[in-house]
Chain A
Amino acid sequence: MITGLYIPGGSLLHRLPAGVKLTLLVVAGLGITLIDTVLTLSVTALAVVAAYPFAARLGWQPVWRATKAILIWLFFIAVAQALIADLTAAATTVLRLLILVWTASLVTYTTRLEDMMSVLERVLVWARPLGVSPQRSAFMIALTIRLIPALFDLAREVREAQRARGVEASVVTAVAPSLTRVLAHADTVSEALIARGYDRWDAPR
């Protein structure tokens, strides 16, 4: 099963409603463009990092996890800025990116998947006039989560069947039959959905 990035906890940030956290994140993202000295950016960055162990009670580990994901980019930006402009520009751009990524990660780490999902559903209600169905979108997301491990199982079955026949599969001969089985599986699932009245869900109002 696929697990989310959420880290369980009972801190203030964990208890804040997801919608509030997301709104604050957008405000912070806009606000950061107004700060442009290395000193104020450093102080802001330190404040965001301090929020991990103190406001969210997550410890320091998740800070590194969030940073690791953009490490190559930080390196690229630092080098590029230092070459094109100067060290101040390099520090400003790197700090600004770090603040954004740390703040966004903080929201992800402290918000349960279900809460994010319900915010998404509420947003999708507004898209109803465009022909978007919130229920079906939510169902599609749930189905995708369920299908990821199922795909690995299908691929393993194909590989075992090939091995039993003594076939040493190349990438194409391994992927193509797996994908064909995946599509056959998709047909089975859609028949099951129709049998359970999928076509009558969420009838247009």
Chain B
Amino acid sequence: MTARDTVLIATFAALTAALGLLPPLPVPVIPVPVTAQSLGVMLAGLLLGPRRAALAMVTLLALVAIGLPLLAGGRGGLAVFAGPSVGYLIGWPVGAWVIGLLAQKAEGPVSLGLACLVGGIAVVYACGVPGVALVSDVSLVTAALASLAFLPGDLLKAVLAVAVARSVRRAYPRVLQ
């Protein structure tokens, strides 16, 4: 791992943390407030490639585990790994890795968007829903239905992430190397 890899990983871990510190956006119709944090997962995947994106998320989770309140709403510490959203947290590195894999060779908005949908939403939910089901002791279907509340916000973030990533890739093509 080069010095540049180390710094980029730390930068996107910090970026995702910083996005979580922004106040959540209350969106009408959607029952849960939309936080900007999963935007960081998508941006890392779209801009860093699989390995560095996944490591950025692992670094962020390590910071949370040792006691920093870096998750949206000022949450953090070991308790978040005992709560129902633990699966989503584990899903972040996995999802970022998948996005990175799919986005590495992709250029156009459609293929980048698809990478976000598969990695940032499908994979993250596939990790998150069993966690909700396990901790809440409900069926996978009930847990999946509850998770639908986050879907509109995440779709919005996927669109945003692709727009931002394309703009950054144009302004700074070296990022993917």
Contact = CB atoms under 8 A, between A and B. Distances in A.
B68 interface: yes
A108 B14 contact: no
Nearest to B9: A140
A165 B108 CA distance: 31
Given A172-B160, A193-B3, A186 B8 contact: yes
B77 A5 contact: yes
Contacts of B137: 77, 81, 89, 92-93
A20 B63 CA distance: 20
Contacts of B142: 80, 84
A187 to B, nearest CB: 7
Contacts of B65: 116, 120
A100 interface: yes
Interface string B68-81: 11100101111111
Q: Is chain A's interface secondary structure helix, strand, loop, or mixed overall?
A: helix
A143 interface: yes
A113 B172 contact: no
Contacts of A161: none
Interface stretch (B99-107, B109-117, B121-129, B162-170): B162-170
Given A69-B75, A80-B136, A97-B84, A190 B68 contact: no
The size bracket of the interface on B is: 35 or more
B78 A107 contact: yes
B18 A80 contact: no
Contacts of A84: 138-139, 142
A198 B10 CA distance: 15
B27 interface: no
Contacts of A198: 3, 6
Interface string A114-131: 001100100000000000
Contact of A147 (B11, B77, B160, B171): B11
Given A140-B6, A183-B11, A113 B68 contact: yes
A93 B132 CA distance: 12
Given A2-B68, A194-B3, A140 B14 contact: no
Q: Is chain B's interface secondary structure helix, strand, loop, or mixed overall?
A: helix
B69 to A, nearest CB: 6
B136 A93 contact: yes
Interface stretch (A8-16, A37-45, A50-58, A173-181): A173-181
Nearest to B39: A175
B107 to A, nearest CB: 17
Nearest to B142: A80
A198 B138 CA distance: 49
Interface string A59-86: 0000000100110110011001100100
Q: Which 3 A-B pairs give the minimum distances between C-beta atoms? A: A108-B77, A147-B14, A116-B66
19 contacts: A69-B75, A73-B83, A73-B136, A84-B139, A97-B83, A101-B82, A140-B6, A140-B9, A141-B59, A144-B60, A148-B14, A148-B17, A148-B21, A155-B18, A180-B172, A182-B11, A183-B11, A190-B4, A199-B3
Given A29-B82, A183-B172, 16 more contacts: A5-B67, A70-B83, A77-B136, A107-B78, A116-B65, A117-B66, A140-B59, A147-B10, A147-B11, A148-B17, A148-B21, A172-B163, A183-B168, A193-B3, A193-B6, A194-B3
